Amino acid sequence: MEPIPVMQDAYTGTQDHARTFILKVYMWMSLGLFITAGVSISPFLVLSETQYINLISEYIFVFYGLLIVEFLIVLGLSFLINKMPAILGLAAFLFYSLLNGITLSPIFIIYTGASIFSTFLICAMMFGGTSILGFITKMDLTKFGGYLTMALIGLIVAMVVNIFLNSSMMSWIISFVGVLLFVGLTAYDTQKIKNMAGSIDSASEDGKKASIMGALTLYLDFINLFLFLLRLLGKRN
């Protein structure tokens, strides 16, 4: 009888699957961010700022159309991921990352390159530290999910209202609250992914789909945290 070695082998196998799953999540998220960053800066390698502004102005409806397509991709992945092959879900996520690079490229016109780069580094450190906290904390963060969701809805409503009010003070408050909210969401989502990793086979089709959705979730946390930080710290041209 070898009960202890067998149990140890099963435990080790579970750990390996969990580790592989988490690595896949962060690998896909990092690839998505790399694509977004590369695409967002690429227009300025061939066009001047003036030429790019004229291009956006000429095709402004296409630009807004891309924003709608991005929203539909996220919505589609959220509701249809279980009905599509994992490879299609991954392709949709990477295509979303590419489109997001296009729609984020105007930030290089609004803010200086130096402030974008420094804000990105600050965002990366904040995201990394918060994500580590989500992994190691003993606190159950899932109980805060409802509050974070309500705060996110409230933040979106406030942003829509401020489009009409155009209040600089309200914009500052929204940005500050947005940073706090997405720091909280990063820790919350990281813990959810950690908990999921212990109960899913990373090599299975469901495991692959879950890793893609985990990557999308953390990708969105990072991008939104970066944009709200940029509104607070970015130096305008």
Of 43, 37, 45, 36, nearest in space to 98 by CA: 36
Whether the pLDDT of residue 12 is over 70: the answer is no
Name every residue whose Cβ is closer than 8 Å to that of residue 171 and which is 6 or more positions away in sequence: 162, 231
How would residue 72 be classed by pLDDT, with cut points 50, 70 and 90? very high
Q: Any idea what DSSP says for residue 91?
A: H
Q: What is the reported pLDDT for 157? A: 95
The answer to whether the pTM exceeds 0.85 is: yes
d(CA 154, CA 192): 23
User: Please, where are the H alpha helices in 137-204?
Assistant: 145-165, 168-197
Whether the pLDDT of residue 187 is over 60: the answer is yes
Find tokens 């709200």 and name the residue: 228
Summarised one tens digit per residue, pLDDT across range 200-230 is 887 889 999 999 999 999 999 999 999 999 9
Q: What is the reported pLDDT for 1? A: 40
Yes or no: say if 187 and 131 are a contact pair by the CB < 8 Å rule.
Answer: yes
How would residue 6 be classed by pLDDT, with cut points 50, 70 and 90? very low
Whether the pLDDT of residue 13 is over 90: the answer is no
Q: What is the reported pLDDT for 224? A: 97
Any idea what the Cα angle at residue 153 is, between residues 182 and 234, rounded to 5°?
45
Report CA-CA distances (Å) from 53 to 41, 61, 88, 136. Answer: 14, 14, 34, 45
Summarised one tens digit per residue, pLDDT across range 156-182 is 999 999 999 989 999 999 999 999 999
Strand partners, 190: none
Rounded to an integer, the average pLDDT of 114-138 is: 94
Strand partners, 111: 236
- The number of angstroms, rounded, from the C-alpha of 19 to the middle of its chain's C-alpha atoms is 21
Find tokens 């940005």 and name the residue: 175
Phi, psi of 85 (to 5 degrees): -65, 150
d(CA 202, CA 191): 17
Q: What is the reported pLDDT for 228? A: 97
